[in-house]
Amino acid sequence: MTLTALARDVSRPEQDSCEAVVETAPRAVISDVFRSVAAAQGKTVASLADDLVLLNSGLDSLCFAIIVATLEDELGYDPFTEAEDVRFPITFGEFVRFYDRGR
């Protein structure tokens, strides 16, 4: 083992516990947020396939506003405000890719 292998990686912050830090994929977080917002608003969300047209998802504009605000809290960024030329996603797959690009 080399000295560099033993050196502390200062680019990464130290953990407060022994638990492994697992980064959740944006798709999983987005799917969970869609479902939880739908449940909280008394809506039934369609199956979250990539080709699902968001207008046919069963969610209304209030739900989407809550989803975007929640995702900003969960993921730490809002690609709608950070992007210069925003083309709003039409399908669920486009929505996920839009958040993937913002990372």
Backbone angles phi, psi at 91, to 5 degrees: -110, 165
**Which of the listed CATH numbers 3.40.50.1980, 1.10.1200.10, 3.30.1340.30, 1.10.3720.10 matches domain 13-101?**
1.10.1200.10
Name the residue ranges covered by the structural domains of the chain. 13-101
Q: What is the pLDDT along the chain (103 residues), one digit of tens a residue?
A: 444 444 444 444 454 544 443 456 889 999 999 999 999 999 999 999 999 999 999 999 999 999 999 999 999 999 988 877 778 899 999 999 999 876 6
Is the full-model pTM beyond 0.75?
Answer: no
